[in-house]
Structure formats: C-alpha cells, structure tokens
Amino acid sequence: MATVQESIEVSVPVSTAYNQWTQFETFPKFMGGVDSVTQLSATSTHWVTSIGGVKREFDAEITEQHPDERVAWKSTDGESHAGVVTFHRIDDNTTRLMVQLDWHPETFTEKIGSVVNADKRQVKADLKRFKEFIEKSGGESGAWRGDISAPPSGVSADASPANGDLPDLSLDDPESGGPRAGQ
C-alpha cells in the first residue's frame, strides 16, 4: 500500500477552505488527472480520471465529514484508495489543509510512480493549485455544511471485498497519528 501525506497553508478562513473542498465537482479545476467528479448523493461521488494515459472510473463514499474540520472518503469500486483532509485554523485568515491518502498501486506504472514519489508530487501540486484557486476566487463557489459521522469502530461503511483491506482513515488524526478524540 502507498501512503501520501501533504499539507499546505492557504490565505483564507477555515470555513472558506472547507466550503470549497465540499464542492467536489470543482476538483477538475485544480486536481491534475481528474476529468470529472459527479456528486451522486450527500455521501457518494463518481470520478473519471486520466492519469499516465490510463482512463479510469470509480465511485467513492464520504465516510466522515464535519464542517470546518475534516472530510474522509474511500472508494467503493474500481480504484482502491481512502483518504482524509483536515482543516486547521492558523488565524482568522489562514488555514492549514492536511491530506492523507492510502492507495494500492495496481499497474506496473503505478507501482514505479509510487516508488519514485510521483503520487506525492501530484498531491503537492494539486494542493498548490487549490491554494491558487481559492485565494484568487475571492470566496468559495458553494458549501455543504452537513455532518456525517464515522461508522462505529470496527464497522466498515463499505464492506465490499475490493475495499476490505483498506484502513478507515476517517478515524485517523494526521497530526497525532492516533484515533480522533471521542472515538
């Protein structure tokens, strides 16, 4: 399994950064290789990507979401990955985003890319483009302020075999490396 952890500070209030991040259909504007994201429901999205000449489609489920704090997800078919982004208030106009992704490189090219940290460079570049996007836009393009609680410990939100061996990152706190307080 490959793991990527990256962070960036953006010069907007935490609510602005969080609100924009909930607008999944805007991801192609700042994420390289993402052709489209379609919001299917409050907790599910459909992705189309083109990376390294390989086009893929997959669905992902939001496993936990708390306004101005975190958004966690994992794939439900196709791509095998899970992730969490957390939002940390630095001051009234500065927010640190921390991203953690776990994924299974499947093809030879993906495995080599992981070994040479191409995945880490991609996430870092995507975060830089998000910073430019949100700082230049003058504000978020929308917001979803709903709250989605993580499944109880030991219970997977998606028990499909393709995802059975992925950790539930919604329970991880990238700053402390441990379970989220109160879980």
User: For the whole model, what pTM was predicted?
Assistant: 0.79
Residue 149 lies in a domain: no
Question: Which residue range forms the structural domain that includes residue 96?
Answer: 2-21+64-140
pLDDT digits (tens, 9 = 90+) for 102-137: 887 777 777 777 777 778 898 999 999 999 999 999
Confidence of residue 153 (pLDDT cuts 50, 70, 90): low
pLDDT digits (tens, 9 = 90+) for 80-99: 889 999 999 999 999 999 99
Residue 150 lies in a domain: no
Helix ranges restricted to H, the chain: 14-21, 108-115, 118-137
Residue 79 lies in a domain: yes
Residue 90 lies in a domain: yes
Q: Which CATH number is 71's domain given?
A: 3.30.530.20
CA quadruple 172, 57, 142, 168: dihedral, nearest 10: -10
Residue 58 lies in a domain: no
Q: In total, how many domains does the chain have?
A: 1
Q: Which residue has the higher pLDDT, 41 or 153?
A: 41
